[in-house]
Amino acid sequence: MIEIYLFVNPLGEYCFKMEQQLLQFIEEEYGTPSKEKMQFRFLPLVNLQTIGDVMQQKGISQNNLEKRNHLFSTTYSAALDCKAAQFQGKKKGRHFLIKLQEAVGCNNIPYSHALAESIFEEIGGDLNMFKEDRQSDFVKEVFFSDQKIAREMGITKHPSAVVYNYACDRDFGVLVEVEGTSSLWRIKELCKTTDNSYQVFNGEHLHTNDSQFHSRTSHLHLLSN
């Protein structure tokens, strides 16, 4: 079995494009019942560093506190939207995330609660349940659990991918900080069971014991670009 965890900006255009490429790869390689089982999860990543990175990408001064606070507020709110959407199924949550990223990140539609609700209704979700979940304390707990996982794994930027390939008989994952097409190629290679893949799943690795990623003690190996 293969597991991929992708830490993303819930409003980011670059993350949207990377997700599209990964989903296409997964559908092509693992879309039939005869293929090896694949699990793919999106986790919104929101912290001061990721917000600073987005400001730099947009050419916004790091000293502009008003825009920093606005960007943090909208990204955090979008992340909670995504977690609430996931309560109605992983596929529904993934579809919602991609639609939201496309609207805000690609089409420059300003983020708002009304936009999020409109998108969720568009994808066929239960809007009343979404609104109720969105206001719950539990959705915040799930979000902060994701951020805890990211901190323990040393993940500081998005998109970043963690790949577990259990066919390689290793109980640790490989962290790939996604930058360009070479990173996508690395992720694809990690999903294979060739000699090269076995060689990648070796060496020094970072330790984490969060049960949400692995039922027992698990590890991470940072794969440099």
pLDDT digits (tens, 9 = 90+) for 186-210: 887 787 766 555 555 454 343 333 3
Q: How confident is the model at residue 171 (pLDDT cuts 50, 70, 90)?
A: low
Domains of the chain, CATH where assigned: 47-152 (1.10.472)
Q: Where are the beta strands (DSSP E) in 31-121?
A: 38-44
pLDDT digits (tens, 9 = 90+) for 83-108: 999 999 999 999 999 999 999 999 99
pLDDT, average across residues 72-86: 97
- Taking every pair of C-alpha atoms in the chain, what is the biggest distance, in angstroms? 54
Angstrom distance (rounded) from CA 126 to CA 214 = 31
DSSP 165: E
Record the pTM.
Answer: 0.81
Q: Give the type of residue at 23.
A: L
Q: Which of 72-76, 89-93, 166-170 has the highest mean pLDDT?
A: 72-76
pLDDT at 165: 82
pLDDT, average across residues 161-185: 75
pLDDT digits (tens, 9 = 90+) for 96-144: 999 999 999 999 999 999 999 999 999 999 999 999 999 999 999 999 9
Q: How confident is the model at residue 221 (pLDDT cuts 50, 70, 90)?
A: very low
